[in-house]
Structures are given as structure tokens and as C-alpha cells.
Amino acid sequence: MKYDICVVGSGAGAGPIIYELSKAGHKVIVLEKGPWFKTEDFAKDEMVATRKSVYTPDLKDEQHVLVQKKDNGKYYSQSTYSSGKDFWNGNAVGGSSNFMSAYFHRLKPVDFRLLSEYGPIEGANQADWPISYDDMEPYYAKVEEVVGVSGVVKNHKHLEPRSTADFPYPPLSENIFSRWLDEGAEKLNFEIFPSPRGIISQPKEGRNACYYSNFCGSYGCSSGAKGSARAALINQALETGNCTIIPNAKVYHLETDGNGTVVKANYYDHSGAKQSIEAGTFVVAAQAVETSRLLLMSKNPEFPNGLGNNSGQVGKNIVFSGGGVGAGQIYFDDLTEEEAQRLKQPGVFINRASQQWYEIDDPAFGPRMKGGTIDFVTEHANGVTKAVKLKKSHGNLIYGSELKSRIHDYFTKQRKLKFEIFVDWLPNDNCCVELDPEITDKWGDPVAKVWLGHHEHDLKVGKYLAEKAEALFKQLGMKNVNSSISGAVSSNLQAGGCRFGNDPKTSVLDKNCKSHEVNNLYVTDGSFMPTGGSVTYTFTIYANSFRVADHLKERLK
């Protein structure tokens, strides 16, 4: 059978395409490398996402080669199988959107014109987007309604223009610490506001409301409240009868006809046998690193450097999320009994953020420059993660009664609260994806070799924001306040590699995310982004995929 649309991947970049095109009556087939977990499969097993590769491939079967900079400035490469440091995100129907924390901040108008707004930075490859915030705004609003976003809009210095007055779902329940943050911020003349979340606070179309397990990040949602592509979009696409999903299908080559048109997606099925799918249009949304890898593997005489890569731009300018984390502790003995009990309340959210310094205009910092976001969060509910961090003191392993006492005190005498800093990861020549010339996966295909070079400017901005967040924690009387800003990357925050633009010489995709060089190939995960902004990417990936879905519906009429 020849399908209208073949989608490779099923996460945030794929979900809106699958949803919209299926509802429009087109025959859609989805090739997902991972298994098909259902809502009822997602239990809060503390070991699942900390000690077992349940949602990600076994590193013996599939690995990455990471290229990182040593302290002496030289780069070295190491496979994740040899290091044991997994670089995978979620591999399952719904992709990594199953396992996100779902902080849904929009990009700002300035994020679409980073280069023209702030000028070039030596060693960075910024580029303006070929579309504007106004082009994306209706689709942000659509995500809020269709996927489901909870919160309340509060005016602040860098609030982006909105076509709707508020979010469609009321705010999620909050811990007393949220109120304390509000009070402390007022004393310091800091602007903070309630964080919108892609988690519904009321039931919606077969999905239950949040029940406050605080097992959001790295875990699937067993209520369906979190707005994963699977729960919010794909389940409804299946109800149309126009959507077919093949799980455990690893696509290894997109085949063209010699005239710039993809005709087949070749894949390995669950048994390892080679299969293929024919379709009129192909959409790749396998997450940034793996999308670049697939296009680079899809070589042929027409595209000797990889599919759609005669410009040499595929895999270039990968971006992650710059910034870091910080924390502070509140000891229950310093509170009244009532305050301590309310602070101990499990599950409910902090949901506060500051974008007061989304743009930094401070002579002490330097020229006017793009800043970022501070998200205030609670510590993850997973007890294993907390306990493991307590096994060392000053670099020495502790055990026995000393370790027992330390764990007991940590869980009963205090609560740690955190903040996360998000700044632009400036695209640069040392952050890219290649095919490794030696290491292959279990099917014999070259694995992705990922260069993880960061720009020092990112650290300067991150440290500036961390100082502001630390000041607020200290205003609240918190103890052991600290932060860490570095160029380390998180595999769950990746974009770029197939940036869109108007010039085929410097970009892979056009403004509608169609390959400049391939007639019927689209890329709709975060790969399209020339720059990432100073927020997490999922909301924008969703919005852009809905935008491209409208374009595809017009094209296929």
C-alpha cells in the first residue's frame, strides 16, 4: 500500500502532523523505532528511569560517540557504551514528549531575530529565522488548547503578545513555597510569574487531570494529564481510522527516484528483517541528532553526502540548552509547625519563573544582550535519585550507620528547592553531528558522532542569571544556596542540525520545513531551529509542527 504521508518518529515534532493529516482524511503511517507503551504502562517505579534502560535503547545495541573538550582545550571522543553515560532520550510511541517536565514558555519576538537584534558574536553562527513570532503565535494558541496548557497569564516585562487572554486550563495546585517566592521577589523588586505547564488540571477527552505524583521529568504520565504527543494527539489520530503505527521500526535509509523525490522509507522491523514503506510525502521527526544521522545515512548517487545535503549543512549547528541549575535548603526547625507541614506537602508544584532578564541591559554586564529564563522547581519525587547523591561526602564514599543517618536527616529534617537557568546555546562549528567512521549499531549502521562544543558567552549569561536566583533564595533565608553553570549538555534538550532559512546554501529547509533539495521531504522536530531561545523547546516544536501541518493540508488538497 502507498500512503499519503509517512512519518518517521512520533514525538512532539511528529504528533501534530499525525493528528492534523489523519483528521483531514489522509492515510498516515508512522514508523517509530521504540516500543508502544500505553498510559497504563507508566508506573512510578523508582528504578525505571534511574537504573534501567526501559524507555531508551540498550547501549550494547545502540550508542553514540560524544566529542567533548578537555580542560586543556583539546577535544576527545568516547562512546556512550564505554562510558556508560546514556545520551538517549525517550524512544517510544510519543517520543521524548512522554518524559518531559512540560514547562511551556513561548519564544519571544526577539528570539526570531537574534542576529539582527543583538549583532554577531565571534565564534557563533546565529541566524535570524525566516518566519516571525506573528507567524507562530496562532499555533502557540492552538497547542495551548489542543495539547492542553494550564496556568494563568500575568503581565510582566517580557510577556509576549497573545491572541488569547489566558490559558485554557486553570493553574495546577501549588506548594506554599510559591507564595514565599512571590513575597521575596516583591521585596527585591524582582518580577516572577506563574509558569505555564503542558499538564492539564481538568479532565480532557479521555485524559485525566494531574494527580500530583511529581514524577513528571523522565517518567511517563499514568493519568494522561501530561501533554505527550501520544496522549494528546496520536490517540485521537488513531480513532479516525486513517493512522497506522508500526513500533520497533528503525528507519535506516530514505530512498529517492533520481529526480529529487523520496519514494521509500527502508526500515528494520521488530525481528530485524528489512521492510519498506511507500508514500507520497515523507516527514522526519526523529529528534535532532537522530534526524541528522538518518539524512546523512541516506546517501545515493543523487545525494552523495546524504539526503538533502548537497549544501553540506545537514548536522551542522546543533544546539542544546545553555545554563545550569542551583539549589537551596529550608530546614523544618526554622519554621512553625504549620509552615513545615505545608512545605512538606508532596506532589504539588512550585510553578514560578522569572524572565526579568530575558534581555540584559546592564552596563556592568556589557552591551545590551539576550538573557534568559529562571524556572523555580521542586526536587524530583524519586527517592532513589536523592539517596544516591548522599553516598559521598567530600569525595569519599560513606556507608553503614553514617549513611543511614544522613539519608534519614535529608528526608525528614529539610526540603531542597531548586532553580533552573535557560539561556541560548549559541550555535557554533564545534557542535554538530557526523557519522562515526568505526562504530556501528546492532544493525551495522554507523552511529551518530556528536560534537558537544559550547560557546563561552553562554556561561557568562548563565552566571548572571544564577546570581539573581541565588539572591532571591538568600532573601528567603534558605541555607546552602549554590549554583552550577557549565557547558554540559542535556540530551533531552536538542535542536538544530537541519536549520530552516531562505538561502539553500546556508540552510537545509525552507520556511515551511521542506528540504530545499528534495521535493517531498519535510523535517518537523527541533532540527529546523536556527537558534533555540532561552526556554525549553517542546512548546515551540509543537507549534511549528501544527504550522507545517496546515501547509501540508493545503499542498495535498
Whether residue 213 lies inside any domain: the answer is yes
Instruction: Say if pTM beats, i.e. exceeds, 0.85.
Output: yes
Whether residue 524 lies inside any domain: the answer is no
Measured distance CA(14)–CA(33) in Å, rounded: 13
Whether residue 81 lies inside any domain: the answer is yes
Whether residue 377 lies inside any domain: the answer is yes
As averages over each run of 10 residues, the pLDDT of the chain (557 residues) reads 96 98 98 96 84 86 95 91 92 96 97 96 97 98 98 97 98 97 97 98 96 92 96 98 98 97 98 98 98 98 97 97 96 97 95 97 92 96 92 92 96 97 97 98 98 96 98 98 95 96 97 98 98 97 98 96
- Provide the sign of the torsion angle of the four alpha carbons 154, 156, 160, 163, taken in this order: positive
Select from 443, 57, 521 the least CA-distant residue to 274: 443
pLDDT at 44: 86
Q: Are 34 and 229 in contact (CB under 8 A)?
A: no
pLDDT at 129: 98
Cα→Cα distances 156→136, 151, 194, 354, 358, Å: 21, 15, 11, 9, 11
Whether residue 15 lies inside any domain: the answer is no
- Provide the sign of the torsion angle of the four alpha carbons 480, 486, 489, 493, taken in this order: positive
Whether residue 258 lies inside any domain: the answer is no
Overall number of domains in the chain = 1
pLDDT at 63: 97
**CA torsion angle 23 27 33 39 (round to 10):** 30
CA 450-309-126 angle, to 5 degrees, is 60
3 state SS of 101: coil
Q: Are 453 and 318 in contact (CB under 8 A)?
A: no
pLDDT at 45: 87
What's CA 431's distance to the chain center, in Å? 17
Q: Are 35 and 49 in contact (CB under 8 A)?
A: no
- pLDDT, tens digit, for every residue of 279-302? 999 999 999 999 999 999 999 999
Whether residue 352 lies inside any domain: the answer is yes
Domain that holds residue 309: 28-248+270-490+531-555
- pLDDT, tens digit, for every residue of 490-528? 899 999 999 999 999 999 999 999 999 999 999 999 999
Q: Are 532 and 424 in contact (CB under 8 A)?
A: yes
Q: What percentage of the chain's residues is helix, strand, coil (to nearest 5)?
A: 30, 25, 45
3 state SS of 243: strand
Tell me which H or E stretch contains 81: helix 80-83
pLDDT at 51: 67
DSSP codes joined into one string, 296-343: HH--BTTBTTSTT-TTS-TTEEEE--EEEEEEEEEEGGGS-HHHHHHH
The 10 Å Cβ neighbour count of residue 85 is 13
Whether residue 516 lies inside any domain: the answer is no
User: 240: which 3 cell numbers?
Assistant: 479516525
